[in-house]
Amino acid sequence: MALPPLVEPADELTIDEVRRYSRHLIIPDVAMDGQKRLKNAKVLCVGAGGLGSPALMYLAAAGVGTLGIVEFDTVDESNLQRQIIHGQSDVGRSKAESAAASIAEINPYVKVNIHDEVLTNDNVMDIFAGYDLIVDGTDNFATRYMVNDAAVLLGKPYVWGSIFRFDGQASVFWADNGPCYRCLYPEPPPPGMVPSCAEGGVLGVLCASIGSIQVTEAIKLLTGIGEPLLGRLMVYDALEMTYRTVRVAKDPNCAICGDNPTVTGLIDYDDFCGAVTDEAASAVQGSTITAAELKDWLDAGKDIDLIDVREPAEWEIVRIPGARLIPKGDIVSGNALSELRTDKQAVFYCKAGVRSAEALAAAKSAGLSNAVHVQGGVLAWINQVDPSLPEY
């Protein structure tokens, strides 16, 4: 459904701004009024990574007057394949500062507010309060639910996007006029069920496809033109080059925006989403070793069965010497339990320690009571033992 403009227009555009935005000004639906609204708008982008990069760049180019950036991370070389707002010279730099510098090059008339901090229950309401619209570029479920709940409680709309490998999704959530994120996804997926981009990968250009859709939706909401994706989920398959739209209805039983909400304030989102299953959390107690300890075991010739539970593509990138590959999914499903040796102590590792914890739980349930996993996974091995190996 069409909605009224989200913000009032600014008083005027300068001569330089008229020159800069002339291609907008000659579009009848945008014109001078729409561009003035963009100038007066305040948009917050949560994250300056894969989705945040194209979103911030095009929001700046479009002339959004104030852009906020919430980002606590620093630029890593593995980011550059998709996070195009950063460059080689930015490696090691604050992502928020790097993004702000790029925005200044794109459009010096945009004011940038840097929130170089982790978004938490303690600051999210105060940060969101200063903006008209939120663009969500996060990649973990705990933050997504926190962003949604804060937006609902403050009555603010937000544009959501999600990417994984070759697939992308986008929608607009605004509880005052339609569904919220919880209406679409009332509960997070089970821990470990949906791998992150860091675990499963993402086609770099997919970020531009979904990020540009997010900016398009933001512009439509700010200026009051077109039909926003409110009440619709856009699903994109890059391999098939198909777009399809799924209707999303407001859920009267929604925990936060329904008729009788049970969530009336911010909650513990890490606990709600869970990093690992309860079984995995229990299994690692007293059964966790560090990368340095594993190195000592290997140097001493300890008779262990070192098992890499990542995917074959990750195995091809880097591995700990002496390991063999059994993907976590095959262990958890039970298909590979017969491959686990009973005459040696099993030592599981993955990229960062989450998947190995799940594999450890499955192995212990199958009777390997003395099995352990490596805290921090192969990344910890690289950082603590062999920094010559490539990170990913």
Catalogue the active-site residues.
197, 350
> Mind spelling out the 3-state secondary structure of 55-116?
HHHHHHHHCCCEEEEECCCECCHHHHHCCCCCCHHHCCCEHHHHHHHHHHHHCCCCEEEEEC
Q: In which order are the strands placed within the sheet that holds 111-115? A: 111-115, 66-70, 42-46, 133-136, 158-164, 167-173, 232-237, 242-247
Q: Are strands 232-237 and 242-247 parallel, antiparallel or unpaired?
A: antiparallel
Rounded Cα–Cα distance for residues 339 and 325 (Å): 11
DSSP assignment string, 189-223: PPTTSS--HHHH-B-HHHHHHHHHHHHHHHHHHHH
Q: Are strands 288-289 and 372-374 parallel, antiparallel or unpaired?
A: parallel
Q: Are strands 345-349 and 372-374 parallel, antiparallel or unpaired?
A: parallel
The DSSP call for residue 131 is: -
DSSP assignment string, 136-183: E---SHHHHHHHHHHHHHHT--EEEEEEEBTEEEEEEE-TTTS--HHH
Q: Per 3-state DSSP, what percentage of the chain is helix, strand, and coil (rounded to 5)? A: 40, 15, 45
CB contact set of 377 (below 8 Å; sequence gap of 6+): 349, 350, 351, 352, 353, 355, 356
User: In degrees, to the nearest 5, what angle opens at C-alpha 208 toward C-alphas 205 and 213?
Assistant: 140
- Amino acid present at 29: D
